[in-house]
Amino acid sequence: MLSRIWTALSLLLVAITLQTADARQLREQDIRARQVEAAKRWHTTHSFPAKRAAPKNITFSNPKASQFYVDGRSIPEVDFDIGPSWSGLLPISGNANETRKLFFWFFPPGPQGSLDDLIFWTNGGPGCSSLEGLLQENGPFSWSWGQAKPTVNEFSWTNLSSVLWVEQPVGTGYSQGTPNIKNEDDLAAQLVGFMQQFLEVFSELKKKNLYLTGESVRLLNSTDVLHLTPQGNIANYIYQHPKALDLKLQGTWIADPSLSWDVVQEQIPAVDFVHRYEHSCSQTFLAQLDALSKKCNYAGYINKYVTYPPKNGLLPLPGKSTSADRGCDVWDLIFNEALRINPAFNVYRIFDTYPILWDVLGFPGSFEQIQLAPVYFDRADVKKAIHAPSNVTWSECSAGDVFPRGDASLPPALTVLPSVIEKNNRTVIIHGLADFILIAEG
């Protein structure tokens, strides 16, 4: 018996030895050499810049403009010249006693860009700062999650156009005053009022082609998501008041908006979303979700009703509620289960796990997580460099309600958006496929 066991072990050892001998042998220095060569090819292909290219020459005749000028060599922690820009606070009306002001940061286009265009960018929330978009999405310099320091953003939208980032509404970021808006139409009127004041100071931007862009929703307060799509309401206001702005509105670009009822954007597509990544949860939980989805009339809804051209008229509600009938909030069940498995679960990018990459703005995912205080835009030297108020404690998303009594707006897909799409030269609406807070199929 012992001899047979010994023989079997010997044969197994020989097999393992032969398999190991046949395996590819790579030394650490060989791997590193290949990585270095690959990096060289990548940089050559992408022409990654070490500094921002000099922007097109732009000057402003109004002496007030000089009060907002930002020296591109003076931005804290940025070890390259980002070029000229203008930033600061401007009121939302021409009233001499106006106390409500919005913070902006304006950049002219790069050498290949157009001086005929002006892109307006705003982040959503409501109440989340558009400086997030500038610093971590489409601005001329980038300090994204996990980066040790800022770098040139080779994909900056300023490569194509002048861009104006605005913190809105009142109560967001550095912006000043007491919030008093009741709905998206109030918000649009205040933003247009701000733009009127902006164009008085930077009058050379009048007559430009205007593109309204931005993203929403950003702040997760509860499972009830506000119907915040300010670009659509701003565009609708401009079309209804054609003499309000001396700009030529061309179109809107909206990322991850809340356009319709919560039951449409969150509940109906939620279970199918989980099935796409079903390896991340138990089969028992999936079975429970499938049963509930069928009971609540979510199962098969998209295949039956979401067709083009429409076959059955307007999309019917699966139940009686525009959010979720009692016992049918599958989105919340999924969120709680995801957090049980992964406490770092990020509703905006579902693949995130521990350890969470650090974020210079202190908001790397679903929940605020300040790993280095103060956050970048709350530093005194940063405030001084960009003419921000020193007495404001900046945070990426407002702790207060920018709609003091809630947003009374109806969903834009059912109100302003169809008209805006008809009048725009172009409308772009996009959703991220890894976004669970507002699901693309919704």
What would the mean pLDDT of 195-216 be, rounded to a whole number?
Answer: 96
pLDDT of residue 125: 77
Specify if 438 maps to a domain.
Answer: no
pLDDT of residue 404: 80
How confident is the prediction for the chain on average, in pLDDT? 87
What would the mean pLDDT of 387-397 be, rounded to a whole number?
Answer: 94
414 in Cβ contact with 317 (< 8 Å): no
Specify if 383 maps to a domain.
Answer: no
Confidence of residue 1 (pLDDT cuts 50, 70, 90): low
| pLDDT of 223 strictly over 60 | no
Distance of alpha carbon 378 from alpha carbon 346, whole angstroms? 24
Listed residues 374, 391, 416: the one ending a domain: 374
pLDDT of residue 218: 42
Q: Which residue in 28, 34, 21, 83 sits closest to 55, CA to CA?
A: 83
Digit-coded pLDDT (tens) for 54-87: 788 899 999 999 999 999 999 999 999 999 999 9
Query: 301 and 330, same structural domain?
Result: yes
Digit-coded pLDDT (tens) for 88-111: 999 999 999 999 999 999 999 999
Q: Is 413 exposed, middle or buried (0-12, 13-18, 19+ CB in 10 A)?
A: buried
pLDDT of residue 226: 43
Confidence of residue 365 (pLDDT cuts 50, 70, 90): confident
Place of tokens 């069940």: 333
Query: 234 and 154, same structural domain?
Result: yes
| pLDDT of 15 strictly over 60 | no
pLDDT of residue 193: 97
Listed residues 374, 398, 418: the one ending a domain: 374
Specify if 356 maps to a domain.
Answer: yes
Query: 266 and 250, same structural domain?
Result: no
Distance of alpha carbon 308 from alpha carbon 321, whole angstroms? 25
Distance of alpha carbon 77 from alpha carbon 382, whole angstroms? 9
What would the mean pLDDT of 299-319 be, rounded to a whole number?
Answer: 88
pLDDT of residue 420: 94
Number of domains comprising the chain: 2
Confidence of residue 290 (pLDDT cuts 50, 70, 90): very high
pLDDT of residue 56: 81
Query: 299 and 176, same structural domain?
Result: no
Query: 97 and 180, same structural domain?
Result: yes
Specify if 156 maps to a domain.
Answer: yes
Structure tokens at 84: 């000229």
Percent of the chain with pLDDT over 70: 89
pLDDT of residue 412: 86
| pLDDT of 215 strictly over 80 | yes
Which has more pLDDT, 432 or 88? 88
250 in Cβ contact with 210 (< 8 Å): yes
Which has more pLDDT, 403 or 5? 403
What would the mean pLDDT of 414-432 be, rounded to a whole number?
Answer: 93
Query: 323 and 239, same structural domain?
Result: no
Specify if 270 maps to a domain.
Answer: yes
Q: Which of 61-75, 215-229, 231-245, 326-340 has the lowest mean pLDDT?
A: 215-229
Structure tokens at 181: 């808006």
Confidence of residue 7 (pLDDT cuts 50, 70, 90): low
Specify if 395 maps to a domain.
Answer: no
Query: 218 and 267, same structural domain?
Result: no
Place of tokens 């800022």: 150
CATH number at residue 95: 3.40.50.1820
Digit-coded pLDDT (tens) for 204-214: 999 999 999 99
Q: Which of 3-17, 148-162, 180-194 has the lowest mean pLDDT?
A: 3-17
pLDDT of residue 13: 53
Specify if 45 maps to a domain.
Answer: no
Which has more pLDDT, 42 or 169? 169
Query: 361 and 223, same structural domain?
Result: no
Distance of alpha carbon 168 from alpha carbon 102, whole angstroms? 6
Highest mean pLDDT among 20-24, 64-68, 397-401: 64-68
Query: 208 and 82, same structural domain?
Result: yes
Which has more pLDDT, 6 or 263? 263
Digit-coded pLDDT (tens) for 265-285: 999 999 999 999 877 788 999
Specify if 32 maps to a domain.
Answer: no
Q: Which domain holds residue 253?
A: 63-261+408-430
pLDDT of residue 401: 84
Query: 358 and 268, same structural domain?
Result: yes
Listed residues 330, 357, 374: the one ending a domain: 374
Query: 309 and 245, same structural domain?
Result: no
Distance of alpha carbon 439 from alpha carbon 261, whole angstroms? 12
What would the mean pLDDT of 14-40 be, rounded to a whole number?
Answer: 69
Query: 248 and 275, same structural domain?
Result: no
Which has more pLDDT, 387 or 31? 387
